Chain A
Amino acid sequence: MIIKVPFFDSAGIISVIIARLYVCIFEDFSGNDISLELLEAEAADVMVLKIFFPQCCNRADSGLLVGRWISGHDSAVVLAVIHYPFIPGQVKQYVQQMQAQSGVELSVLGSWSLPKEGQEGMESFLRDLSTIFPQQRWLQIRRQMGKTGFTCEVLNRDQNGIAAQRTVKKEKKEEEEDGDGDAEEKEEEEEEEEEKVIFVHYEQRKVMLSQLHPIESGDAKTDPPSELRQVFQTVALSQPLFFLDKYDDGPLKSTHWQSEGREASIIVELLKQASVPLCLLLSWLLSVWTWICSVRIFNFYPLRFLSTKLSTCVQLSYRTEHMKTLSSPKPAASHTQFMRKANMLVSVLVDVALGVLLMLWLYRDDHITMLANTLVPAADHVAKELDQLLQWLMGAPAGLKMNRALDQVLGRFFLYHIHLWISYIHLMSPFIEGILWYGGLSACLGLSFALSLLSDMVALFTFHIYCFYVYGARLYCLKIYGLSSLWRLFRGKKWNVLRQRVDSCSYDLDQLFIGTLLFTILLFLLPTTALYYLVFTLLRLVVVLFQGVLHLSVDFINSFPLFAVGLRICRSYRLAEGVKFRVLCDEPGVALHLLMEINPLKVSTVVQTYQTPTYSCYPRDSWLALVKKLFVGELIYPWRHKTTKAD
């Protein structure tokens, strides 16, 4: 089967797609050969001109189109329509002024005519205007009331102005022939350039406020930005053009998105006015706080070490950094900075709100006293359980027979530790309520502070478990290393530190004798140590798990971009992943009209892009490395804070 495909330049893609669809989707693999024959077509170079037209100007009165030609892509963005009556000199001056203020290459693109009753003489007036404004191309867009489609004529002009006259004459000839003036697709007998026009309608306010993702930084770009990105940038940067509209008393009356009715929220304006003194107050408070923190007494070794270990202090310094960013009185320079500041502000506010709620719950109905009264009995209970556990280990745990002497030594050592710790708790019990009461006040700084304080308190109260774990782990680790080294001696090998490998070695007889003896001793004491190590590692892991959950929730509060997610839900056009097109009207005699809508970003991408970086990185090791460490007896610190903050 042979499929003949006409091969034009850009429409050729379409034809080939049709052919390929037939080939691949609709199975014809029963042995028939399918080949494509490309037919040579008449040389017709099709150029398509794209005009991005704002929806607010669909019903604007006749006037001049102001916008920007996008170089390299054969397209134009219409930004506003300036109405009659005007003085061309004033228009030129205005456009130049706007160009200087906004930095966008504005120019008069052409003319727009929507004739109302009594305005029939506009057509010739519009055509004559093209001589006043010196342009490469002049667009003449016309629309009839009641009809949906626009018609567009493009006047091309070179330096002499001869070509313009030629095309103008051609139009006049065709107008006489057709009789209705629709000259959108110039079907000319001579082989000249055909110009087809696409009107892309966009909603100006939404495109102005929207930001295309992935966000490209403006400096050091290898490729010029794509066409859509340039359209978005043009509309976003043309803010000075949108200040005056046709309802203002100025020399020029223009129509753009503001003509549909200004939208501004008074709350937002009031907040903007109030933010400056607030920022000054905040920066003053922060300077006082930083001065207190940098007092010399805090720089001594134990306090400094503690402050890096306690998660409350880390959280405090993290939040101080955030407040410093927020309290700068300069407005945010780029979209990323604005989103980051907004996310920080919203997360701080939500944090404080949740913390205040927690405080309200704590301080009502004597919950603090209740908590304090359950804390000491709970600690007692834990100590008793540990006691029983140690007694069990000292006997014959799970039927295993332990080495009596070592068992008794280790057991009594740990029992004495527990006794010390319990007496310490009982000593502290009258102060616990006071500590809890003042500690609960920290919740007014935010829920994350309350959680980090809780995590620190858990760490302090289970300090004895941590000590037991360290003792058990060190003992076990020593034993394992000793065993592995003596095992090598048993086999006649040695670890070469210089070459970092195992070498054979000939030992003396007494070395071998003592080595073997020690090896045997260590080997038979291994089960006892291993059991103690296992028990205390499990306890430690339980505590670490609980602390980990607390740290995870603090991290979630710190890093989740609430403002960005809220923006995505309420004003989804602000964060755009791309655009979508819809065909508006496709009548045969009229240009193609498309509606460009903004395709919002997915929520998961929003969270990923706008996450605030935090200070913790976890898990530190992969699961396999963790298991290996546990087996060998190395100490594990699964929740390690980053020492340097990565921005």
Chain B
Amino acid sequence: MMEDETFTDISGKTISLDCQSHSSFCREFTVSSPKVSIGKVMVYTCSVWLLAYAAFFITQNTAVLSSAILITLVGMMFHIHFVKVDHESLLVIGSLGIQVSSSYASGREITTFIEMSKIKDIVINEAIYMHQIIYYLCVLLKDPSEPNAVSSVVPLFQVSQRLWVEEEVEVCRLRPGVIPSVLNFPAHLGRVRARKTTTKQP
């Protein structure tokens, strides 16, 4: 099942989703961000170099020009290696676990694998950011010492959603009978219910 439609994220940029089904119990979801636009690169480079030329005109020091070139190069390399995310993918393997990976524009990949035994649930969490409420998908991990508690919340597709959530969540205990997710909720409840947290967004 391959789908390629265009959607927009919270800031209005277009992103695309690709679902690939390797088997009946193994699927991969990829969210791709837009690529670096050549127009923006040219605008930034030209503005930096114009400023450098202006400084050179005033000070008559060639070190300004070479430092401007160096800054542009280093900044671009830093941006594509550490900042610009090309695509993020989620590989779900039934009864093994979930693998989350982000791939940067320079080809660097950061991968994390969460075993099935550590996953408590996958929920949609609400977050209040300034004037809007944003929803994000996250994985709840089990606390090794207490079977009923949640040790940490791992948001999925962090960078595509431009979302940085504080990872230290206090261990929250659930009262018996409380249903934390939709996976096994009673049939008469038809709507998704989620918890509210506050997060920070860059």
Binding site for B on A (CB under 8 A): 10-14, 16-18, 20-21, 23-27, 33-38, 46, 48, 50, 74, 196, 198, 200, 222-223, 226-228, 578-581, 583, 586, 592, 594, 599
Contacts and interface: CB of A to CB of B under 8 A. Distances in A.
Nearest to A229: B115
B192 A23 contact: yes
B101 interface: yes
The DSSP consensus for interface residues of chain A is mixed
Taking residues whose C-beta sits less than 8 angstroms from the other chain, chain B's interface range is: 35 or more
B71 to A, nearest CB: 26
Contacts of A594: 26, 93, 96
Contacts of A48: 25, 94-96
A599 B94 contact: no
Contacts of B93: 198, 581, 594
A34 B113 contact: no
B102 interface: no
26 contacts: A10-B95, A11-B24, A12-B183, A16-B182, A18-B29, A21-B17, A23-B124, A25-B15, A25-B17, A25-B31, A25-B137, A25-B160, A27-B8, A27-B10, A74-B95, A196-B23, A198-B26, A226-B115, A226-B117, A580-B101, A581-B91, A581-B96, A583-B26, A586-B22, A592-B26, A599-B112
A259 to B, nearest CB: 28
B144 interface: yes
Contact of B191 (A10, A17, A35): A35
A13 B183 contact: yes
Contacts of A33: 191
Interface-centre pick from B23, B122, B136 (highest chain A CB count, 10 A): B23
A281 to B, nearest CB: 46
B192 A17 contact: no
Contacts of A26: 7-8, 17
Contacts of B115: 226-228
A21 B135 CA distance: 10
A501 B186 CA distance: 63
Contacts of A36: 182, 190, 192
Contacts of A196: 23-25
Contact of B94 (A38, A46, A222, A223): A46
Interface in B1-39: 7-10, 15, 17, 19, 22-29, 31
Contacts of B24: 11, 196
B183 A16 contact: yes
B109 to A, nearest CB: 9
B130 interface: no
Contacts of A13: 92, 94, 122, 183
A208 B63 CA distance: 54
Nearest to B181: A16
A25 B25 contact: no
The DSSP consensus for interface residues of chain B is strand
A387 to B, nearest CB: 43
Interface-centre pick from B15, B17, B93, B136 (highest chain A CB count, 10 A): B93
A227 B117 contact: yes
Interface string B87-131: 000111111100101000000000111010110001010000000
B151 interface: no
Nearest to B7: A26
A21 B91 contact: no
A50 B96 contact: yes
A251 B191 CA distance: 66
B17 A11 contact: no
Contact of B26 (A16, A25, A578, A586): A586
A226 B144 CA distance: 11
Contact of B113 (A21, A35, A586, A599): A599
B135 A23 contact: yes
A-B pairs, 3 with minimum CB distance:
A586-B22, A24-B135, A26-B7
B74 interface: no
A581 B101 CA distance: 10
A25 B161 contact: yes
A268 to B, nearest CB: 32
B7 A25 contact: yes
A102 to B, nearest CB: 25
B19 to A, nearest CB: 7
B137 A583 contact: no
A50 B116 CA distance: 13
B28 A198 contact: no
B145 interface: yes
Nearest to B138: A24
A69 to B, nearest CB: 15
Contacts of B135: 23-24
B41 interface: no
A586 B23 contact: yes
Given A36-B192, A48-B25, A222-B145, A17 B92 contact: yes
A231 to B, nearest CB: 11
B187 interface: yes
